[in-house]
Structure 1
Amino acid sequence: MSHVAVREQRGEPAVERRNPQGPRADRTDRTDTPAAIGRRVLRLRTELGLTQRELAEPAYTPAYVSTLESGKVRPSEAALRHLAGRLGIDYEELTTGRPAHVAAGLRLRLTDARLALATGPTADAAALFSLLHAEAVEQELVGEQAAALLGLADCLLESGELADAQSHFASVERLLADEPLPRRVPAIRGRATAHLLTGELRYACYLLESTLDELNASGMPDPDSLLLLYTASIAPYMDMGAHARAAQAAELALALAPRVSDPALVAGMHRGVARTLIAEGRIAEADASLAKAQELYRQLHIRTELAHCHWMRGYVHAQDGDLERAEHELRMARDMLASKRAALFTEQVEVELADVLRRRGRSDEARALLRPLLRPEQDAGALRAGRGAVHAGGAHRLLGLIAEDDGDTASAERHYRAALPLLQESSAAGDLADLCRLLGDLLRRLGRVEEALDAYRTGLGHRAAPGTTTLGPAPAAPPMM
């Protein structure tokens, strides 16, 4: 079963409803109303062949049991525990109609589904999460519904179905609306990541920053949630050119790490911090930070995140001029992501791999890698606005450079101009400024000076004050700092 078929209906995925507990778990019985509890007591007593007196004694009267079975009285907890003991079932099952082991079993299988997502093809994990969500709905287990939807959303994120991922993350937030904010943070982080991948960098920053402010204002900030949010904010800050704010988020994440016991969160922090170290030219430190993350992900068998470490190490080596090692790391990342069928991430790595191939003098290989990524926009797998916009712009930029190398100025200009709106809409300031420089240089060589000046002005406008024109005040530091 493919998770592509799972779609939103009334705010939640439409999945097949099943009744795994059989006739005893009829939906009309699975409530805690007096009438439902009364019907349940009557049915269970009858199945056991007990009289009302035998069920009631020694603590209660037959008349009380009769009143209870007719739904005319809400039994106390003490009464329910007495009746459950006499009926030979758990208190929870008598209260809800749901055996106590059901929730534990679902949680165990949700852990298995998470492992499947970490180690195998995304579609297989999505099928598991979909089935588990159906069971959680059937059993009215809200927490497990949220966990299954969160898993489905993560699957959709990996496969590049970003609109559906956003919708699923939002559904998790609605399900947990009455829970403490830290319970909703993974869904908020996921929704922000989905917006980042569509190219909505400013909105991604808004989601993360507003949640950080709310969490810090609560007076009891949760270190795990803070680390997750600060780490997630590094990528959109860097893509927007707000390097100082990214460095501040990295510094706060590093300070929080000793308070966090989850190794996956710590690994994610090391990976995020590496981006700020790269921007500062601290290549050796960035590589060391990525090596720490890589080792943790390897120990945890989290293949997608491990692939991201290879991806970023490839970028580090490319920045340092070691193109052979860069190619090796990027190919490893691509192969790992492709094996998991993480389509969007695979395509993004291929753009960076094409850049390395071009710099190694293998432009034909780079071109062959890039062209399929920019197939017509009606193709659901194409890089485009709303799906990998920054990398779509990067692919056009690279094809423009290759065309310039070949002396095909018309194709170069066409690709540069195709990249412009993609990067403008996504607020990727640094990439946009570089693209405007390339376009301006090309137009100037062609003698089109006024057009070249317009391109330069556009680039300078985005380079003047990175991040300051599109972001409000930075979130306050946590009170624990």
Structure 2
Amino acid sequence: MAGTSSRTAGGPEREVADGTPGRPDRGQGEGQDSPAVIGRRVKRLRKEHELTQRQLAEPVYTAAYVSTLEAGKVRPSEAALRHIAERLGVAYEELATGKPTHLVTALRLRLADAQRVLATEDAVDAQAAYELILGEAEEYGLTQERAAALVGLGECAMEMGELTESLARFEAAEQALADEPLPARARAVRGRAVAHYLAGELRYSCYLLESAIDGLNTSGLHDPGALLQLYTASIAPYMDMGAHARAAQAAELALALVPQVSDPALVATMHRTVARTLIAEGKVEAAQTSLARATELYQQLQIRTELAHCHWMRGYVCAQHDDLAQAEAELRTARSMLVSKRAALYVSQVEVELADVLRRREKPAEAAELLESLLVGLQPGRGAVHAGGAHRLLGLIAEEGGDLEAAERHYVTALSLLEQTGAAGDLADICRLLGDLMRREGRTEAALNVYRTGLGHRAEPGTTTLGPAPARPPFAPWT
């Protein structure tokens, strides 16, 4: 009977109660183009247009055929669907697939707008926009748009410091794109790797990135944009693990890819990240040039989070060269920009750098207060490397103030955090500080054990427990 529900083999028929046009009518286990779903869709649209089965069918088909079609007992031909679509005044594609006309285009425009909101405004607002897009993409079975929304949600969660949520979103995006070529999954892979890196899981981050790079290079899928994302993302974990040679190679390859990449945001991120390897190599002028180029591009794109990262990096460069006043100014600018974006995890990381500058500027009380406050948001799993750095600084402040017991406590905590991450350089440094403290107190054997631990992490400078380096692409700039 019209207006009532009946059951089919595919699941319960779903009548649209709210009158919203274009919604899918599928039951459990039914595809958008199954006869039962198409039949219910035709029936719903016919009733919305107040047509009888005979009016819909004539002059080409019969009322009996429309009745059979609406019952899901026959798969309509393309010709039949085109006739019915014309009678209903809807697009053939909408009738055949359930997707409203221009839906994909509209969703992609909204995805671009959500990405703009994330870049220039607030991650919370961007998250809300992505959630709405995700719901519609799932409703209409749009895999590409669903995956893009999941990646966007992962990036929002990462900016807000919710790394567990971020990882779940990136993993879901990868699963959604499991049947797509690897380049289509690069952004999700990169996001998941960065989230693991921020959580202090450096080796696993490198493993994810290297596996994807190998997959692209050995399969002949030399997508420049995908490779640039992956090589750029690998630099930070390589540097923190002490794998400086690999970081330099990744930077060299990233630079070689730039002429083939049209996305200015990817190019800007590459320049900002490569600056870190240039600083490590003592190429300060080149690093400043790279940061200036990144800043210029981010200003043009109005990407506030990444622009804050440029100020952050400039502050680091100034601190390395004892220009502490300028370093403090740059880091405070970065912190202010990130606070306005509510980028909690990044705020805490900048505060570690700022606290070090304040300590060196003989403002230990202000530095300690900042560090104690930020550690609340840097629990294990939310930035172990930077939490270790915060405890290291608190240890230095305590030691410089004569509180050796507190200093040792902070050094031991830092060592425990850093051992989980494999950050070789930081581990060696904290072992040296702790060993020196113990030696000054006359605890020679304990100091030796700590020194041995540090030496174990630095036995072969520039190496890690990682496997072979990724395969080099055919355009590699070295021989």
Q: Which residue of 2 aligns with 1:429?
A: 424
Residue 202 of structure 1, CA deviation: 0.2
**What is the TM-score with the length of structure 2 in the denominator?**
0.90
Aligned-residue Cα RMSD (Å) equals 2.2
Distance 1:90 1:467, change over 3 A: farther
Distance 1:208 1:199, change over 3 A: same
Q: Which residue of 2 aligns with 1:49?
A: 51
1:337 aligns with 2:350: no
Q: Which deviates further from its counterpart, 43-52 or 165-174?
A: 43-52
Structure 1 portions without partners, runs of 5+:
1-17, 376-380
**Alpha-carbon distance between aligned partners in 1 of 2:206 and 2:194, rounded to the nearest angstrom:** 10
Matching of residues 247-258 of structure 1 within 5 Å: 247-258=248-259
Runs of 4+ residues deviating >6 angstroms? 18-21, 60-63
Q: Secondary structure at the match of 1:100?
A: coil
Contact 2:242 2:463 in 1 (8 A): no
**Alpha-carbon distance between aligned partners in 2 of 1:333 and 1:20, rounded to the nearest angstrom:** 48
Partner amino acid for 2:104? Answer: A
Q: Which residue of 2 aligns with 1:28?
A: 26
Deviation per CA, 1:92-126: give whole Å up to 9, x if none.
21012231133322222222221111112222221
Deviation per CA, 1:434-465: give whole Å up to 9, x if none.
11111111111111111111111111111121
Q: Which deviates further from its counterpart, 293-302 or 467-476?
A: 467-476
Deviation per CA, 1:198-249: give whole Å up to 9, x if none.
1100000000000111111221321100000000000000000000000000
Pick one of 414, 431, 434 that aligns with 1:439: 434
**Alpha-carbon distance between aligned partners in 1 of 2:321 and 2:23, rounded to the nearest angstrom:** 63
Deviation per CA, 1:7-47: give whole Å up to 9, x if none.
xxxxxxxxxxx998726625338821112223333443452
1:461 aligns with 2:463: no
Partner amino acid for 2:424? Answer: A
Partner amino acid for 2:468? Answer: P
Q: Which residue of 2 aligns with 1:407?
A: 402
Distance 1:372 1:80, change over 3 A: same
Q: Which residue of 1 aligns with 2:364?
A: 363
Residue 61 of structure 1, CA deviation: 6.9
Q: Secondary structure at the match of 2:102?
A: helix
Q: Secondary structure at the match of 1:27?
A: coil
Q: Which deviates further from its counterpart, 37-46 or 93-102?
A: 37-46
Partner amino acid for 1:49? Answer: L
Q: Which residue of 2 aligns with 1:285?
A: 286
1:157 aligns with 2:158: yes
Q: Which residue of 2 aligns with 1:384?
A: 379
**Alpha-carbon distance between aligned partners in 2 of 1:160 and 1:19, rounded to the nearest angstrom:** 40
Residue 131 of structure 1, CA deviation: 2.5
Q: Secondary structure at the match of 1:311?
A: helix
Contact 2:278 2:286 in 1 (8 A): yes
Residue 306 of structure 1, CA deviation: 0.8
Q: Which residue of 2 aligns with 1:325?
A: 326
Q: Which residue of 2 aligns with 1:11?
A: none
Contact 1:53 1:61 in 2 (8 A): no
Residue correspondences, number: 457
Partner amino acid for 1:349? Answer: V
Q: Which residue of 2 aligns with 1:105?
A: 106
Q: Which residue of 1 aligns with 2:234?
A: 233
Matching of residues 197-212 of structure 1 within 5 Å: 197-212=198-213
Partner amino acid for 1:222? Answer: D
1:81 aligns with 2:79: no
